[in-house]
Amino acid sequence: MIKKYINQDKSRLRKNIKSWRLDLRSLGGGQYFFENFKDAKKELDKFLVLEKTKIEDSDNWTMKDLLGEFPNKDTMYEWDQRLKNNDPLRTFYWREYKNMKNGKPLPDYFDKYKSQFVSILSINVGGKTVGELKPRDVTVEHCETYILPTLFNSGKKGKRSFKTVKEMRSCFNKLMAFGKSRRCIAQNPMLDAEFKKPIFDEENPIEKLSTDFIHEIEQHLPKSISLAYKFACGTGLRAGEQRALMWEDLNFDMSEVSVTKSAKLKVVVNGEVERNGLGAVKTTTSNRIVPIPANILRDLKELYIKQGRPTNTFVFGTKYNTMIGRTHWREQLQKVVKKISDKHMRWHDLRHYYASKMLEYFGNDVWTVSNLMGHSNIDITQRVYGHWMQDLAKKQKLQEKISNINF
């Protein structure tokens, strides 16, 4: 057993430096070097005693107990001595430890995702909550049958997006990885659970907005966002892509817009993190050219001339030539929608509206629609809008049958 963890590094021996290696990485520890075998063995024994105590302490932990022990922004500093003493937690939490030692502030990861941890532990699993289960009792079946489906279907406003569920799954994985370092589990069951984007939900499909409703909203919108609203409906750009647009991205002669960047909440500039900057678009295929409808192009030209044909300025920016806030359009839109209907609507729904019009126009040419939307592949287009495509296909088939009837 000792040989499994302790051996002599001959290359280090030739250099006359500490050559006895103690490798505890398989046990959640690190890799250390000593002058002689005796010191390495002493450290191994010390580590194994600590591990035994730790296993005994955590043997009866529930998932809720595990979360209570999970390192956070406050306890990280309290555990400084344990980290210095090569506690296995140091390996698990090496990046944050390194940042702390270099004087950098710890990330707000744990505060930010605290509610997500709590949501996961409150999920019902066969009569018990996840929080009441012992970590070793959580199975792949629990993950596939209860945890993941609940995460997808129990958001505050109905279904959660795949991105949000992926984030919550990451939180769960982080917690289970910590459990593994504490010897509560041997393997994280979530890693073996099937996890993929769901096929469109036939019972709760994306609602198709009517043109009349879109026009009704436009009539009630403040003038300050009216053009931005029409542009979103007529081009299908993501909100971040539209917020990042500069006048140089518009080609008035060709009636098109080049999508090459997107607004980002955080960007790294010269090694420093800055808020509300410009970054890359979502995927490589999101770099695209999108035609601009004639009526919207006319309004854009008028605005361009009115502003004195500016350069290096945002098309839909503020009067101070700064990027419009990420929630401004959504908040203005929701105020109007709340007044005229009982619908809940997001700015992103305007992108869905654009997709519905493109599908009506191009029919079975899913590839063209997918390119205009900037999807990474047509599978995404089919998954998100498959129910609309089925309806259009049925309608087209019915029209063909009726056209062949002699009345």
Q: Are residues 156 and 72 in the same domain?
A: yes
Same domain as 84, residue 32:
no
Residue that finishes a domain, picked among 36, 58, 80:
58
Per the domain annotation, does 399 fall within a domain?
Answer: no
Residue 312 pLDDT > 70: yes
- Domain for residue 400, yes or no? no
Q: What is the CATH number of the domain that holds 280?
A: 1.10.443.10
> Is the pLDDT confidence value at 377 over 60?
yes
Helices (H), 280-325: 294-306
Q: Both 221 and 353 in a single domain?
A: yes
Angle between helices 328-340 and 223-235 in degrees, nearest 10: 90
236 part of a folded domain = yes
> Mind listing the pLDDT tens digit for each residue in 334-365?
999 999 998 888 899 999 999 989 988 887 78
Segment 44-53 long-range contacts (CB within 8 Å, at least 24 positions apart): 44/2, 44/5, 44/6, 47/86, 50/87, 51/27, 51/88, 51/183
Q: Are residues 223 and 362 in the same domain?
A: yes
pLDDT category, 73, cuts 50, 70, 90?
low
The pLDDT of residue 267 is above 60 = yes
Specify whether the CB–CB gap between 239 and 347 falls below 8 A.
yes
The answer to whether residues 134 and 18 belong to one domain is no
- Asked whether residue 107 falls in the same domain as residue 45, the answer is no
Burial of residue 354 (number of CB atoms within 10 Å: 0-12, 13-18, 19+): buried
Residue 387 lies in a domain: no
Q: Is residue 28's pLDDT more than 60? A: no
- For every residue of 178-216, DSSP letters joined together read HHHHTTS-SS-GGGGS---PPPP-SSSPPPPPPHHHHHH
Predicted local distance difference test score (pLDDT) of residue 394: 66
Which of 53-67, 108-122, 241-255, 363-377 has the least mean pLDDT? 53-67
Q: What is the pLDDT of residue 405?
A: 63
pLDDT of residue 203: 46
Residue 75 has pLDDT above 70, yes or no: no
Residue 162's domain spans which residues? 62-198
- The DSSP symbol for 158 reads B
Query: Which of 292, 289, 287 has its CA nearest to residue 234?
Result: 292
The residues near 42 (Cβ < 8 Å, ≥ 6 apart) are none
Which one-letter DSSP state was computed for residue 189? G
User: Cα(313)–Cα(206) distance, rounded to whole angstroms?
Assistant: 35
Whether the per-residue pLDDT at 200 is higher than 60: the answer is no
pTM of the model: 0.56
pLDDT of 396: 63
Sheet holding 288-291, edge to edge: 250-251, 256-259, 288-291
Helix axes 211-220, 328-340, angle to 10 degrees: 110
What value does the mean pLDDT take over residues 146-166? Answer: 80
Q: Which of 14-18, 97-101, 110-114, 266-270 has the lowest mean pLDDT?
A: 97-101
Most trustworthy range by pLDDT among 40-49, 191-200, 219-228: 219-228
For residue 119, which phi and psi values (nearest 5 degrees)?
-60, -40
Residues 1 and 46 in one domain: yes
pLDDT at 314 over 90: yes
Which one is predicted more confidently, 17 or 228? 228
Beta bridge partners of 190: none
Please check whether residues 223 and 372 belong to one and the same domain: yes
Confidence of residue 154 (pLDDT cuts 50, 70, 90): confident
pLDDT for position 225: 93
Q: What is the rounded CA–CA span in Å between residue 375 and residue 238?
A: 11
Highest mean pLDDT among 33-37, 64-68, 107-111, 257-261: 257-261
Q: Do residues 164 and 309 share a domain?
A: no
Same domain, 30 and 68: no
Domain boundary among 13, 30, 58: 58
Cα dihedral across residues 400, 402, 405, 407: positive or negative: negative
The residue from 58, 74, 89 where one domain ends is 58
Res 114 pLDDT > 70: yes
> Are 247 and 360 in the same domain?
yes
Question: Which of 324, 315, 353, 338 has its CA nearest to residue 220?
Answer: 338
Residue 389 lies in a domain: no
pLDDT at residue number 109: 54
pLDDT tier for residue 174 given thresholds of 50, 70 and 90: confident
- Average pLDDT of the segment spanning 117-123: 88
In a domain, 385, yes or no: no
Q: Decide if 266 is inside a domain.
A: yes
The token pair that represents 197 in the structure block:
């984007």
From the list 254, 217, 230, the residue with the least C-alpha distance to 332 is: 217
Phi–psi pair at 220, nearest 5 degrees: -100, -5
What is the chain's mean pLDDT, rounded? 80
- Per the structure, how many domains does the chain have? 3
The Cα–Cα gap between 102 and 106 comes to 11
Q: Residue 283: pLDDT band by 50, 70, 90 thresholds?
A: confident
Residue, of 161 and 396, whose pLDDT is higher = 161
Would you say residue 141 lies in a domain? Answer: yes
Q: Where is pLDDT greater, at 117 or 238?
A: 238
- Span of 82-91, 353-362, 389-398 with lowest mean pLDDT: 82-91
- Higher-scoring residue by pLDDT: 142, 8: 142
> What helix, strand, coil percent values describe the chain, rounded to 5?
55, 10, 35
- The reply to whether 34 and 143 lie within a common domain is no
pLDDT at 347: 92
Gap between the Cα atoms of 240 and 237, Å rounded = 8
| Predicted pLDDT at 331 | 92
* Percentage of the residues of the chain whose pLDDT score is greater than 70: 74
pLDDT on residue 255:
94
